[in-house]
Amino acid sequence: MRQVLSSVFRKPATVPYPFVKAPMPANFRGKLQFDSAKCIGCKLCERDCPTGAIRIEKVADKTFEAHFDFASCIYCAQCVDSCPKKAIQATGEFELAATSRQSLQQVFHAQPKAPAATPQAAAPQAAPKDPSKP
Ligand code: SF4
Ligand code: SF4
């Protein structure tokens, strides 16, 4: 009885999900994220994935996009560990239920790279000289 009574006045150990979501731990292996700006196209992620859930495709010079099959992914985060450039990260997102496998295919398109600045454009412009001053 003492145990029961003390539990009545204690804060609940659970949260009323889905109205309140508990924060995920920092190393949680949820849905993956891909940063095309960091990817060098080495395909180590593709090689090490145990379920063949990743395909890296070259779309332009030094530009790659990633195709993920989140229906095949087992969220082991091996690709995160294998990537030498930290281009793949696991997020805290876990609500991935879907009614079709097709909706779990996701392409992370490459972001267009900014053109490299020419030395002329990069150099600061000198202010025009004021003829009234010596
Ligand atoms: S988390 Fe595991 S299964 Fe999913 S894509 Fe990465 S390596 Fe493959
Ligand atoms: S391992 Fe990383 S850098 Fe290499 S292809 Fe995969 S995402 Fe790109």
φ, ψ of residue 64 in degrees (nearest 5): -130, 150
Q: What is the pLDDT of residues 74-93, one digit of tens each?
A: 999 999 999 999 999 999 99
In ligand 1, the atom with minimum distance to the C-alpha of 82 is 7
Say if ligand 2 is within 6 A of residue 55 CB.
Answer: no
- Asked whether residue 79 is assigned to any structural domain, the reply reads yes
Say if ligand 2 is within 6 A of residue 89 CB.
Answer: no
Whether residue 54 contacts residue 45, with contact meaning beta carbons closer than 8 Å, is answered with yes
Please determine, for residue 6, whether its predicted confidence score (pLDDT) is greater than 70.
yes
- d(Cα 50, Cα 54) in Å, to the nearest integer? 10
- Residue reference for tokens 């392409």: 107
Task: Give the pLDDT of residue 51.
Answer: 98
**CB-CB neighbours of 122 under 10 Å:** 8
Which residue among 33, 58, 83, 109 is best mutated to probe the pocket of ligand 2, counting the most ligand atoms within 8 A of its Cβ? 83
3-class SS at 5?
helix
State the pTM of this model.
0.79
- Asked whether residue 130 is assigned to any structural domain, the reply reads no
The CATH number linked to 84 is 3.30.70.3270
Rounded to the nearest angstrom, the distance between the alpha carbon of 35 and the centre of ligand 2 is: 9
